[in-house]
Chain A
Amino acid sequence: MTLGVEVGAPGRERAVTERLRGLWETPPTLLAWLTTVDHKKLGVRYIVTAFVFFLLGGLEALILRLQLARADLHLLTPEAFNQLFTMHGTTMMFLVVQPMLSGFSFYLTPLLIGARELAFPRLNAFSYFAFLFAGCFLTASFLGWHAPDGGWFAYTPLTSARFAPGINLDYYTLGLVFLGISTTAGSINSIVTILKLRAPGMSLDRMPLFMWSSLTMSLSVVFAMPPLTAALVFLELERRWHFVFYEPRLGGDPLLWQHLFWFFGHPWVYILFLPATGMLSMIIPTFSRRPMVGHTFVALATVATGLVGFGVWVHHMFATGLPQLSISFFSAASMTVAIPSAVQIFAWLGTMWHGRVVLRLPMLFALAFILQFTIGGISGVMTAAIPFDWQVTDTYFVVAHLHYVLAGSSMFAVFAAIYYWYPKMTGRLLDRRLGLWSFWTMVVGFNLGFFPMHLVGLAGMPRRVYTYPAGLGWTADNLLETIGAWLFGLGVLLTVANVLRSRRHGAEAGADPWRANTLEWATHSPPEDWNFTHIPVVASRDPLWDGGVAPGPALTDGRQTLRTSTLDADVEAPIVLPEQNLWTLVISFAVLGVFVGLLLGAWWVAVAAGLLTLGSLARWFWPHPAHVEETEV
Chain B
Amino acid sequence: MTAVPLDALPRAPDARRATRDVGWWGMALLCATEASLFASLIGSYFYLALVPANAHWPPAGIADPALGLPLLMTALLLASSGAFWWGERGIARGDARRLRLGLALAALLGIGFLLLQLHEYGDKLRHFGPTTHAYGALFYTITGFHGAHVAFGVLMLLYTGLRALRGHFTAARHQGVTTVGLYWHFVDGVWLVIVTSLYVSPHFY
Chain A residues with CB under 8 Å of chain B are 1, 7-8, 119-120, 123, 184, 187-189, 191-192, 195-197, 200-201, 222-227, 229-231, 233-234, 237-238, 241-245, 247-248, 250-253, 256, 259-260, 263, 534, 537, 550-555, 563-565, 568, 570-575, 614, 618, 621-623, 628, 631-633
Contact yes or no, A192 B172, CB < 8 A: no
Apart from A119-B22, A243-B131, A633-B19, list 4 A-B contacts with CB within 8 A. A119-B25, A237-B141, A570-B9, A633-B172
Out of A192, A245, A568, A614, name the residue touching B44 (CB < 8 Å): A245
Query: Using Cβ atoms and an 8 Å threshold, which residues of chain A touch B9?
Result: 200-201, 537, 552-553, 570-571
Query: Using Cβ atoms and an 8 Å threshold, which residues of chain B touch A244?
Result: 130-134, 136-137
Contact yes or no, B53 A248, CB < 8 A: yes
Contact yes or no, B29 A191, CB < 8 A: yes
Size band of the interface chain B makes with A: 35 or more
Contact yes or no, A7 B168, CB < 8 A: no
CB distance from A306 to the nearest CB of B (A): 14
Q: How far is the CA of A483 from the CA of B88 in the complex (A)?
A: 67
Q: A226-B36, A230-B41 are in contact. Are A550 and B1 (CB under 8 A)?
A: yes
Contact yes or no, B37 A229, CB < 8 A: yes
CB distance from A187 to the nearest CB of B (A): 8
* 6 pairs, A vs B, C-beta closer than 8 Å: A229-B37, A230-B40, A244-B130, A244-B133, A250-B133, A573-B19
Query: Using Cβ atoms and an 8 Å threshold, which residues of chain A touch B14?
Result: 565
Q: How far is the CA of A188 from the CA of B51 in the complex (A)?
A: 35
Q: Counting chain B CB atoms within 10 Å of each CB, which of A245, A248, A550 scores highest?
A: A245
Contact yes or no, A195 B40, CB < 8 A: no
User: Which B residue's beta carbon lies closest to that of A555?
Assistant: B6
Contact yes or no, A256 B36, CB < 8 A: no
Contact yes or no, A551 B3, CB < 8 A: yes
Q: A245-B138, A633-B19 are in contact. Are A230 and B1 (CB under 8 A)?
A: no
List CB contacts (< 8 Å) of B40-72 with chain A. Answer: 40-41, 44, 47-48, 51, 53-54, 59
Contact yes or no, A570 B12, CB < 8 A: yes
Q: A192-B26, A244-B131, A251-B59 are in contact. Are A227 and B5 (CB under 8 A)?
A: no
Query: Using Cβ atoms and an 8 Å threshold, which residues of chain A touch B51?
Result: 253
B75 within 8 A of A: no
User: Which B residue's beta carbon lies closest to that of A567?
Assistant: B12
Q: How far is the CA of A221 from the CA of B131 in the complex (A)?
A: 31
Q: Counting chain B CB atoms within 10 Å of each CB, which of A187, A229, A259, A628 scores highest?
A: A628
List CB contacts (< 8 Å) of B59-118 with chain A. Answer: 59
Q: How far is the CA of A227 from the CA of B41 in the complex (A)?
A: 8
Contact yes or no, A230 B44, CB < 8 A: yes
Q: A256-B44, A552-B3 are in contact. Are A196 and B22 (CB under 8 A)?
A: yes
Contact yes or no, A223 B36, CB < 8 A: yes
Contact yes or no, A120 B26, CB < 8 A: yes
Q: How far is the CA of A400 from the CA of B176 in the complex (A)?
A: 51
Q: How far is the CA of A628 from the CA of B162 in the complex (A)?
A: 14
Q: Counting chain A CB atoms within 10 Å of each CB, which of B10, B33, B48, B131 scores highest?
A: B33
Query: Using Cβ atoms and an 8 Å threshold, which residues of chain B touch A253?
Result: 47-48, 51, 53, 134
Q: A120-B26, A243-B131, A575-B21 are in contact. Are A631 and B1 (CB under 8 A)?
A: no
Contact yes or no, A537 B33, CB < 8 A: no
User: Which B residue's beta carbon lies closest to that of A246?
Assistant: B134
Contact yes or no, A245 B37, CB < 8 A: no
Contact yes or no, A571 B137, CB < 8 A: no
Q: A119-B22, A233-B141, A552-B9 are in contact. Are A632 and B173 (CB under 8 A)?
A: yes
User: Which B residue's beta carbon lies closest to that of A614?
Assistant: B155
Query: Using Cβ atoms and an 8 Å threshold, which residues of chain A touch B21?
Result: 563, 575, 632
CB distance from A574 to the nearest CB of B (A): 7
CB distance from B118 to the nearest CB of A (A): 18
B135 within 8 A of A: yes
Contact yes or no, A572 B137, CB < 8 A: no
CB distance from B150 to the nearest CB of A (A): 15
Q: A119-B22, A253-B53, A256-B44 are in contact. Are A241 and B33 (CB under 8 A)?
A: no
Contact yes or no, B4 A552, CB < 8 A: yes
CB distance from A102 to the nearest CB of B (A): 15
Chain B, residues 137-148, CB within 8 Å of chain A (1/0): the string is 110110000000
Q: How far is the CA of A231 from the CA of B140 in the complex (A)?
A: 15
CB distance from B1 to the nearest CB of A (A): 5
Contact yes or no, A537 B132, CB < 8 A: no
- Please give me the 9 A-B residue pairs with the lowest Cβ-Cβ distance, nearest first: A251-B134, A226-B37, A565-B12, A230-B40, A243-B137, A226-B36, A553-B6, A570-B12, A572-B18
B11 within 8 A of A: yes
Q: How far is the CA of A119 from the CA of B25 in the complex (A)?
A: 10
Contact yes or no, A260 B40, CB < 8 A: yes
Out of A241, A251, A565, A575, name the residue touching B22 (CB < 8 Å): A575
Q: How far is the CA of A187 from the CA of B21 in the complex (A)?
A: 18
CB distance from A607 to the nearest CB of B (A): 14
User: Which A residue's beta carbon lies closest to that of B33?
Assistant: A222
